[in-house]
Amino acid sequence: MNRDPFQSFIDLTQFDQTIYSLKQQIEQSKATLDKIDQEEKLLTIQIAQAQDQWHQAKKAVDERELEMKLLEEQERTKKNQLENLKNPKDYFSLNADLEHIKKKQHALEDDIIQVWHTLEQAKRALDQMKKDVEDKKQHLEGSRNQQKELLAQSEGQLKRIEDSRPEKLVGIPDEWLEKYSAMRERISDPVVPVNSESCSACFHSLVARDMQLLRKRALLQCRGCFRFLYLPGTVDVEQGT
């Protein structure tokens, strides 16, 4: 049985809304996957920063300890020189050098305590960061798998629906399809119902003549936004017959 062109057209627009919704789901899933990738990259950067802070703290400790070793070697050298002193005139000079070395050692000891404290803090922060990052990555991986599965389902469903679309075009006048296709490229809802004698998209009021035509199942375009208009009641009556 041949279907009414008006009803077929309305069915097509509702069918296309399903396609639009699926495409939106697909774009949303892709955007979510991109966001997950960005979050993982940020976690990698955070780990690298924590590791760099630890390396810098370790470097500071190594430098201070090396400096302390050099001072200890200088101290031993000066003490040996004092023990083997042959010229008493050199005593005061060597003793002054030793006192200077000891002052530097005392100052360096306080510095070493501080840099060791910084190193321990950096190590604890790095260990905690690694644990937190591992937990977050596991959560992100679960979200990624979920989105990939949803994306595959949506893409599969979209292909099946789009493959069946040509049969929905049968019986619809070419003039309607041409106008509808042009409008569909510009907006997501090219066909909308009339609500309280106004376009439900832009709220442009319809004149009495237009309402009469709509009740007779004519296909009109809104004078305000140029969307196609229909009366829901007329469609419901046709679907129920």
Tens-digit pLDDT profile for residues 160-192: 999 999 999 999 999 999 999 999 888 889 999
pLDDT of 227 over the 50 cut: yes
Three-state DSSP state, 48? helix
CA 196 to chain centre: 42
168 is written with which tokens?
């929905």
The rounded distance, in Å, linking the Cα atoms of 6 and 173 is 9
Is 77 exposed, middle or buried (CB count within 10 Å of its CB: 0-12, 13-18, 19+)? Answer: middle
pLDDT of 149 over the 60 cut: yes
Q: What is the mean pLDDT of residues 17-32?
A: 95
pLDDT of 132 over the 60 cut: yes
pLDDT of 1 over the 50 cut: no
> If pLDDT is split at 50, 70 and 90, which confidence band does 237 have?
very low
Q: What is the pLDDT at residue 2? A: 59
Q: What is the pLDDT at residue 232? A: 85
pLDDT of 6 over the 90 cut: no
Q: What is the pLDDT at residue 240? A: 34
Provide the CATH number for the domain formed by 15-166 in this structure.
1.10.287.1490
pLDDT of 238 over the 50 cut: no
Asked if residue 36 lies in contact with residue 111, where contact means CB atoms within 8 angstroms, the answer is no
pLDDT of 31 over the 90 cut: yes
Q: What is the mean pLDDT of residues 79-102?
A: 88
Domain residue ranges of the chain, discontinuous segments joined by +: 15-166, 173-240
Q: What is the mean pLDDT of residues 106-125?
A: 95
232 is written with which tokens?
């829901």
Asked if residue 198 lies in contact with residue 205, where contact means CB atoms within 8 angstroms, the answer is yes
pLDDT of 229 over the 90 cut: yes
Q: What is the pLDDT at residue 15? A: 94
Instruction: Enumerate the β-bridge partners of residue 229.
Output: 192, 220
> If pLDDT is split at 50, 70 and 90, which confidence band does 235 have?
low
What DSSP character marks residue 191? Answer: E
pLDDT, tens digit (0-9, with 9 covering 90-100), for 7-21: 899 899 999 999 999
> If pLDDT is split at 50, 70 and 90, which confidence band does 54 have?
very high
Q: Which long-range contacts (CB under 8 A, 24 or more apart) does 158-167 make?
A: 158/19, 158/22, 158/23, 158/26, 161/15, 161/18, 161/19, 161/22, 162/19, 165/15, 165/16, 165/19
Q: Round the average pLDDT of the chain to a whole number and report it.
A: 91
Complete edge-to-edge strand list for the sheet that includes strand 198-199:
198-199, 191-195, 228-230, 220-221
Q: What is the mean pLDDT of residues 203-227?
A: 92
